[in-house]
Structure 1
Amino acid sequence: MSYPFLKGHGTENDFVLLPDADGSVHGDLSPERVRALCDRRAGIGGDGVLRVVRSAAVDASVEAEWFMDYRNADGSVAEMCGNGIRVFARYLVDAGLVSSKDFPVGTRDGLKQVSVDGELVTVDMGTPVIGRDTWVRVGRGTPQAALQVTTGNPHAVTWVDDVAQAGPLREPPDVDGELYPDGVNVEFVVRRGARHLAMRVHERGSGETRSCGTGACAAMVATAAVDGVPLGTAYRIDVPGGELSVTWTEDDRLLLTGPAVLVAEGSTDL
């Protein structure tokens, strides 16, 4: 069976979108199908798959019309995707599926309020949770200090002098398995100036990606907490795929802002 798809990205963190309003087409979205869609040589290619489905088809208790069913490139289910939800919102607006440019989206991490303003999309990512000190290790290198942060997904944030120190990141960095039994995203962060960071990320289930929205939020939160920066402050986050902005508001919420672009559409039988 052939079915429609779209391709989009947020700061080059790219996704395959599957329109499935009533959940009748892609309800059996198996890990094998996700891996086939995300395959960059034999499929469409992407860091993950976004199924666009009405919340009623997933969970009638969700107080939003639309639900973002997100899967990592390896087929595993993730709670949240900061870049993905911006691409998801872009599609809903461009397709005329929402009547306003400010609306909620259901996710496995709860409701997220989004706002579309031109090419930029802002997402209220909710309240971050700062955990304990931990460590990460790349290859056979020396373990280095990191901070546990949850921003919808679990993260381990570590600081380096140069993002190249992370190496090629072909394999997941070693982490404390007891602290992260379901895997973790690891951010390697450089301070570039006042309220200005750069980072690389290895995402669980996807490998190194060009950007990570929840990771940018985690990098900002960890750095602001360590440096004693007050709430109400905005940071610029440089990622290999572009630039994001994260504000930790005075009422303890994270606002993630960045571009979201749809680049292709078609049909596939993968």
Structure 2
Amino acid sequence: MSYPFLKGHGTENDFVLLPDHDGSVHGDLDPARVRALCDRRAGIGGDGVLRVVRRDGLWFMDYRNSDGSLSEMCGNGIRVFGRYLVDEGLVDPAEPLEVDTRDGVKVLTFDGDLVTVDMGTPKVLGETEVSVPGRTWTATHVDVGNPHAVAFVDDLAEAGPLLEAPTHDEAVYPDGVNVEFVVRRGAAHVAMRVHERGSGETRSCGTGACAVMVAAAEVDAASRDTAYRVDVPGGTLSIAWTADDRILMTGPAVLVARGTTDL
């Protein structure tokens, strides 16, 4: 059976989108099919799959990592999801857009090419550790709908081998964890690389950038509403932790291709 797809990215964190508005085409996505779609040599290629579904009066983002596993939330993915709805004329970009996810309803607003997402209230859950053979770093455990371990390092150029297979405390993260390695670039300005559970190293991670901003703001004792610039290999995101304890993430979202596939 052939079916339509689109390809999009947010700061080069890329996704295959599957329109399935009434839920009749794909049902419960099989992990093997997700892996086939995300395969960069034999498939379309992507860090994950976004199935676009309408249920209970809201748009629902059914997100799967590239290995076929479920994820509660995807910060770059939800911006791409919103861009699809706007570009298809399914929603009005002048109005706030509610999108349901496995981490609850998120609200998106649009300003030209930029999309801002209210990611909700972060949870700072104390110190943990991440390790690679021969080295261990203290990290900050931050939950922004999915789990993160944020470790500050001296040089991101050395982070490549660290991102191949970092290990973590399985008692703290029984379902796996996204690991961010971070350096400071200036006042309210950091840069990061990320290893995402279920996908490996990616060019960007929206929830990871939010977790990094929270960890940095905690160390800096930054005042609320301070906007941090977070550089990722695929671009730049702006993250603010508001006075009413919400995380606002702003960044681009682009659709780059569409077609049909029988993968």
2:263 matches 1:263: no
- CA deviation map 1:24-75 (0-9, x unaligned): 001131100000000000000000000000023xxxxxxx520000000000
- CA deviation map 1:85-124 (0-9, x unaligned): 0000000000011134421000000000001111100000
Q: TM-score, normalised by structure 2?
A: 0.97
1:14 corresponds to which residue? 14
Give the SS at the match of 1:168.
helix
Question: Identity, % of aligned pairs?
Answer: 73
- CA deviation map 1:105-155 (0-9, x unaligned): 0000000000111110000000000002111112x1311110100011100
Contact in 2 for aligned 1:14/1:46 (Cα 8 Å): yes
1:218 corresponds to which residue? 211
- CA deviation map 1:179-207 (0-9, x unaligned): 00000000001011000000000000000
In structure 1, stretches of 5+ residues that fail to align are: 57-63
Contact in 2 for aligned 1:172/1:204 (Cα 8 Å): no
Give the SS at the match of 1:143.
strand
1:59 corresponds to which residue? none
Letter in 2 for 1:120: L
1:88 corresponds to which residue? 81
1:158 corresponds to which residue? 151
1:52 corresponds to which residue? 52
Matches within 5 A, 1:231-246: 231-246=224-239
2:108 corresponds to which residue? 114
2:68 corresponds to which residue? 75
Matches within 5 A, 1:105-144: 105-138=99-132, 140-144=133-137
2:191 corresponds to which residue? 198
Give the SS at the match of 1:126.
coil
Cα deviation, residue 168, structure 1: 3.3
Query: Aligned partners of 1:11, 1:100: CA distance in 2, in Å?
Result: 20
Query: Aligned partners of 1:172, 1:193: CA distance in 2, in Å?
Result: 29
Contact in 2 for aligned 1:86/1:260 (Cα 8 Å): yes
Give the SS at the match of 2:135.
coil
Query: Aligned partners of 1:179, 1:210: CA distance in 2, in Å?
Result: 26
4+ long deviations beyond 3 Å: 168-171
Letter in 2 for 1:248: W
Letter in 2 for 1:132: G
Contact in 1 for aligned 2:163/2:194 (Cα 8 Å): no
2:97 corresponds to which residue? 103
1:149 to 131, 142, 149: 142
2:4 corresponds to which residue? 4
194-203 or 140-149, larger mean C-alpha shift: 140-149
1:61 corresponds to which residue? none
What is the CA RMSD across the aligned residues, in angstroms?
1.0
1:228 corresponds to which residue? 221
1:41 corresponds to which residue? 41
Query: Aligned partners of 2:169, 2:101: CA distance in 1, in Å?
Result: 27
Query: Aligned partners of 1:158, 1:127: CA distance in 2, in Å?
Result: 21
1:172 corresponds to which residue? 165
2:29 corresponds to which residue? 29
Query: Aligned partners of 1:171, 1:180: CA distance in 2, in Å?
Result: 18
Contact in 2 for aligned 1:15/1:84 (Cα 8 Å): yes
2:246 matches 1:253: yes
In structure 2, stretches of 5+ residues that fail to align are: none
The 3 A distance-change label for structure 1 pair 100 and 192 is closer
Give the SS at the match of 1:96.
coil
Letter in 2 for 1:267: T
What is the count of residue pairs matched by the alignment? 262
Contact in 2 for aligned 1:237/1:243 (Cα 8 Å): yes
